[in-house]
Amino acid sequence: MKIRIFVTLKNGVLDPQGKAIHHSLEGLGFSGINDVRSGRLIEMDVDDNVSDNDIDAMCRKLLANMVIENYHIEKVSEGADT
């Protein structure tokens, strides 16, 4: 089973990396960008018997810093090629 975990900064938490990307994009001549936020993506291939609770626990214990970050878990169907 393939899963994707998105870890994003909570609203209100400063994101200097996002700000730097925003600034660089404007420096390259791109306009119309209102906001950029950076985050992490973790793709995992786990056995089918790994429960949703286990995946949730992985996020809480290691992958996300719950003080400043949110996480979102998405299961990828085997047929999808992205």
Return the residue of 10, 52, 54, 56 that touches a copy of itself, per CB under 8 A: 54
**What distance in Å separates the CA atoms of residue 4 and residue 59, rounded to the nearest whole number?**
11
Q: End-to-end alpha-carbon separation of the chain, Å?
A: 14
Contact predicate 36/78, CB 8 Å? no
Q: Which two tokens stand for residue 6?
A: 């998105």
Residue with smaller CB distance to a copy of itself, 27 or 67: 27
Instruction: Verify binding: residue 26, a copy of itself, rule CB under 8 A.
Output: no
Q: Is 42 in the site for a copy of itself (CB under 8 A)?
A: yes
Residue selected from 19, 38, 69, 76 as contacting a copy of itself according to rule CB under 8 A: 38
